[in-house]
Amino acid sequence: MKTKPYFFILLGLLSGLLNWAAWPGSPLTGLIFIGFIPLLVASERAQHTRIFFLSCYMAMLVWNVGTTWWIWNATAAGAVSAWLANSLLMCIPWMLYWITKKRLSRAAGYLLLITAWMGFEYLHLQDWGLSWPWLTLGNVFAMHPDWVYWYSFTGTAGGSGWIWAINVLLFHHLLRNNFSIVPQRYKWGALAVTLLIAPILISTQRLRPLSRTSDRQQEIVIVQPNVDPYQKIAEGTTSFQIDKLIQLSKESITDSTRLLVWPETALYSPYGFDETSLSENSSLTPVWQLLEAYPKMTLLTGIESYRWFDAPTRYSKPSGNGQLEFEAYNAAALLTKQQATTFYHKSMLVPGVETLPWFLRFMDSWFEKFGGVTAGYAKQDHRAVMPTPQGFTLAPAICYESIYGDFMRRYIKNGANLIVVITNDGWWKKTPGHLQHLHYARLRAIETGTWVARSANTGISALIDPAGTLLETRGYDQLATIRRSVPVLPATTTIYVRWGDWVSVWVLLIGGSLTLLSLLRSKKR
C-alpha cells in the first residue's frame, strides 16, 4: 500500500520537535537520543527523492526555528535567511545517505550517514562566511556538563557521535523487529542502552576534572551594566554608558582587584574609537582616571574601533574622500593606567549581521548592522593571547565566538590560562538565546580545563570553573557585578587542547572513503 506524502511530512515534523524539545533550556535532553529515528523511518519507506527531501527539510526547519526563533528580535531578514539556509545545508548529509545507501551494506550506509553529518558539522565550524554552529549536536549537553567530562578528549564531536550511535542502534533494533510493540530480539536495543548509560557513568564517576589549586589567587570583577542595546546605539549616549560602567565598577573593585571585565562594545561611539589615539580621546578620560586610581588593575573591555591605512588591506574600505583606507572592528582592548596594551579583533563574525561571504555580497543592503557598518567588520586571523601584568593570559571571545571549540582551544595551546567571554545578548531580549549561549561556555571550560569569566551586557554574566560548574551568575536584565578570586594557573594541556578536532578529521577520512566506495560501485554497475 502506497504511503501518503503527509505521512513523511509528519515524520519530519516529529523529528524536528524532538530535537527542539531536547535543546538547552529544556529538561528533556534525553529526547535527542531518538530525535533522528523518524527520519530514518522515512528513509526506509520513502519511494521518491522529492518526498524524502521534503521530510528532511521539514525536520531541519522545525528544529532551526524552534531552537533559534529569538534571532527574529535582532533581525527579521537575518532570522528568516538563517533558518532557510541552515535547514537546507543540514539536509546535505541526509541526501548523501539517500543517494548512496542502496550501493552499500546497511552497516556501511549507517556509518556513511553518521560520518556525513559529523563531517558537515566540522566544516560548518570553519570560517567560510555562513558558519552557524549553534545546533552542533554535541552542544545539547551544555546543561549537563557532568555527562560529558570526556569532551576534554573529544570536544563536541564526541557528543555528536554518541547521539548518532544511539539513534542508529535503536532504529536498527526496531527495524529488525519490524517495529513491533513487543520486540522479540533484544541484542541491538541492549547495546544501545549500554552505550547510552556507560559514557554518563564513566564521566560522573571517573572523569571529573581535578580542582587544581594555586597559592596565587587574583581578584577579578565582572561588570554587567544592563544597557538596552537599542538605546546603546543612540546618539549622545556614549558618556552616559561610560559613567554607568565606572560607577558600577567602583562599587565592587577593591585595592586587591587585578582584572576588571566589561562586556562587548562597552566602549561605544557611533563613529567608533581610533585605536591609535585612545589616550587622547576626551570621552574616555573617565576610564583613564579609573585606571590611574587603581594602578595595579587591568581592564579588558569591548570596544567599537577602527584604524586608518595608507593603502588598501584585505578588509579595508575607502574613506569618504577616498584618500585613506580604514578597517572597522568589533574589538576587545586591554587597558592599563598608561595605555592600551593589546587589541583583539573579533574573528568569527555573525553571518548576515557582521559579514557576508563574497558570493552573497549583492545582498548587502538587506542586512543592517546594529551600530556599525553593513557586513563590513575586519577580523583577526590568528589566536594571539592577551597577557596581563598580574599573571593572567587571556583568551578573548567576543559574542558567539565561545561556541567554537577548536577556535577557543588554540588560545589555550598558545598559553592562555583564563577564557574571557564578552558579549551583548540583549539584542534577543529575554528569550532562550542568552541561556543557550551561557551554557555553551561551560563546554569550553571542560574541553580546555580552563576557568571562564563571562561578562554579558544584559546578562547572564558568570564565573565558570574547569568542570563547567556555574560558580557565580547574575540574572538577566539586572545591573550587577561579580567579584571573586581566581587561581592563576599554567595553561592546561588536555587531549583536546593538544590535538583539536581529531575525531572530526578521522570522520572525514572514513566518510570520504565510503563515498568513494559508493561511487566506484555505481560506476562498476
Query: Three-class SS string for 446-509?
Result: HHHCCCEEEEECCCCEEEECCCCCEEEEECCCCCEEEEEEEECCCCCCCHHHHHCCHHHHHHHH
Mean pLDDT for the chain overall: 86
User: Lowest-confidence range among 15-24, 163-172, 312-321?
Assistant: 312-321
Rounded CA separation 293/246 (Å): 12
User: In this prediction, what percent of the chain has a pLDDT beyond 70?
Assistant: 88
Q: What's the rounded mean pLDDT across residues 331-341? A: 89
Q: What's the rounded mean pLDDT across residues 431-441? A: 94
pLDDT bin (cut points 50, 70, 90) of residue 147 is: very high
Mean pLDDT comparison of 187-201, 331-345, 443-457, highest-scoring range: 443-457
What pLDDT, on the 0 to 100 scale, is given for residue 2? 64
pLDDT bin (cut points 50, 70, 90) of residue 86 is: very high
Residue 237 has pLDDT above 90, yes or no: no
Q: Letter for the amino acid at 232?
A: K
Helix (H) or strand (E) holding 300: strand 298-309
Q: Which distant-in-sequence residues (6+ apart) come within 8 Å of 313 by Cβ?
A: 325, 327, 378
pLDDT bin (cut points 50, 70, 90) of residue 211 is: low
Q: What's the rounded mean pLDDT across residues 117-143? A: 91
Mean pLDDT comparison of 95-109, 259-273, 410-424, highest-scoring range: 410-424
The Cβ of residue 71 has, within 10 Å, a number of other Cβ atoms equal to 25
Residue 354 has pLDDT above 80, yes or no: no
User: Lowest-confidence range among 27-31, 126-130, 133-137, 342-346?
Assistant: 126-130
Query: Quick check: 12 and 57 in contact, CB under 8 A?
Result: yes
What pLDDT, on the 0 to 100 scale, is given for residue 176? 65
What pLDDT, on the 0 to 100 scale, is given for residue 375? 47
pLDDT bin (cut points 50, 70, 90) of residue 145 is: very high
Residue 244 has pLDDT above 50, yes or no: yes
What pLDDT, on the 0 to 100 scale, is given for residue 250? 94
Greater confidence (267 vs 106) lies with: 267
Three-state secondary structure call for residue 395: strand
pLDDT bin (cut points 50, 70, 90) of residue 499 is: very high
What pLDDT, on the 0 to 100 scale, is given for residue 359? 57
User: Lowest-confidence range among 55-69, 70-84, 416-430, 443-457?
Assistant: 70-84
Q: Cell 551544555, residue?
A: 142
Rounded CA separation 84/91 (Å): 11
What pLDDT, on the 0 to 100 scale, is given for residue 179? 61
Cell of 372: 556599525
Greater confidence (382 vs 136) lies with: 136
What pLDDT, on the 0 to 100 scale, is given for residue 370? 38
What pLDDT, on the 0 to 100 scale, is given for residue 372? 35
User: Lowest-confidence range among 49-58, 85-94, 324-333?
Assistant: 324-333
What pLDDT, on the 0 to 100 scale, is given for residue 374? 47
What pLDDT, on the 0 to 100 scale, is given for residue 511? 76
